[in-house]
Amino acid sequence: MTGVSPSCAGVGKAIDAAGEEGRAALIAYLPVGFPSVAGSVDAAKALIDAGVDALELGLPYSDPVMDGPVIEDAVVAALAAGARVDDTFRAVEALAGRGVPILVMTYYNPVYRRGVARFAADLASAGGAGLITPDLIPDEAGEWIAASEAHGLDRVFLVAPSSTAERLAVVAEACRGFTYATSTMGVTGERATLSGRARVLVERARAAGAERVCVGVGVSTPAHAAEVASFADGVIVGSAFVRLVSEADSAAEARQALSDLAGRLREAATLG
């Protein structure tokens, strides 16, 4: 790593800036290595140019237990093509400095296997803003919390509609950047409608002390974005973007499709 300085202080700053503009932040997810490492960076650049406020780069992992078939198939293809942990850091480095914070979405085993302190140092050196860790709970995250503090990295933990008030408070206290609220109990993927439990979960998380709450899992259309923007600080979209990449016949077609959807989602997330 060459020690790239990120262009933003963190994802919290980006979310707050979007709020000051009268809209919910748009946070986009893409897996590193799909359709190739270079292709995933190219796709991410298209999303940044289209106005997303933050970017989640998925670290390819062999057992993506939270992910539905669209993302799972993309990750399997990325691994089969040879994508590895170091490619994620290289992707972060290629995208850092373009005006938006770059988070890495990863299951915890790759972090543990690399060494938590080393992973945090490499991510910070590449210009990354922090980690989203879907299978790590704060109770077991002491080493990561210490490493993130040492390197000034955001840490995003998840809450679900089933989370108790006590659990919400623990997660809210541990998060830095935002708290990730899952709209439903289940894996990622596009859905026709969103559960009404998402609004209640955001309200409960805020009551428990969460400074910023962003909603993902199932959010995929402009109508969803408008709905989520009415009660949350950020809109997280993943599978809909990944599907566009998988269906495109060329890199140019993928860039155009990603840009079009990101523009419509951002517009829909504007509070009126």
pLDDT confidence band for 9 (50 / 70 / 90): low
The Cα–Cα gap between 218 and 186 comes to 9
pLDDT digits (tens, 9 = 90+) for 28-62: 999 999 999 999 999 999 999 999 999 999 999 88
- Find, among 70, 30, 77, the residue nearest to 50 by Cα: 30
Q: CA 266 → CA 47, 95, 262, 269, distances in Å?
A: 11, 20, 6, 5
- Mean model confidence pLDDT for the chain: 92
- Positions annotated as catalytic residues are 56, 67
The Cα–Cα gap between 270 and 230 comes to 9
Q: Is 8 helix (H, G, I), strand (E, B) or coil?
A: coil
pLDDT of residue 4: 43
Q: Which pTM does this prediction carry?
A: 0.93
pLDDT of residue 196: 75
Least confident of 54-63, 110-119, 252-261: 54-63
The Cα–Cα gap between 116 and 103 comes to 16
E strand intervals along 15-128:
25-31, 54-58, 102-105
Contact between 215 and 256 (Cβ < 8 Å): no
pLDDT digits (tens, 9 = 90+) for 214-224: 999 889 899 99
What DSSP state is assigned to residue 141?
A: -
